[in-house]
């Protein structure tokens, strides 16, 4: 049976993991939508058309789609907690 200290430590650890994963999601969100908010400046700076810029922005989604397969396999074999923890450690 857990004592009060272990329970508090476990509770704190859960919230820490939740906050880290939440912050990673927010960062991912901004990476996806940043090109749309500065598209005019990007077109001027790189002298490109809207179609070319859209193709470049779409690459994020293509890579995201391709990575779903290995990430799913890792999550099934190692478990989602370990995959999330390993990802955070390798991308610091």
- Tell me the angle at which helices 39-46 and 50-78 cross, rounded to the nearest 10 degrees: 110
Query: pLDDT band at 15, cuts 50/70/90?
Result: very high
- Supply the pTM of this predicted model: 0.52
Q: What is the dihedral of CA 5, 88, 82, 72, to 10 degrees?
A: 150
Structural domain including 80 reads: 4-90
39 touches 53 (CB < 8 A): yes
| Amino acid 82: pLDDT | 83
Confidence check: pLDDT of 92 > 60 = no
Confidence check: pLDDT of 65 > 70 = yes
The number of domains in the chain is 1
């Amino acid at each position: 049976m857990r004592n009060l200290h272990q329970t508090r430590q476990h509770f704190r650890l859960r919230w820490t993991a939740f906050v880290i994963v939440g912050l990673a999601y927010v960062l991912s969100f901004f990476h996806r939508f940043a090109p749309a908010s500065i598209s005019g400046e990007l077109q001027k700076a790189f002298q490109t058309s809207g179609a070319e810029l859209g193709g470049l922005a779409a690459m994020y989604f293509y890579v995201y789609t391709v990575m779903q397969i290995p990430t799913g396999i890792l999550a099934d074999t190692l478990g989602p907690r370990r995959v999330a923890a390993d990802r955070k450690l390798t991308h610091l």
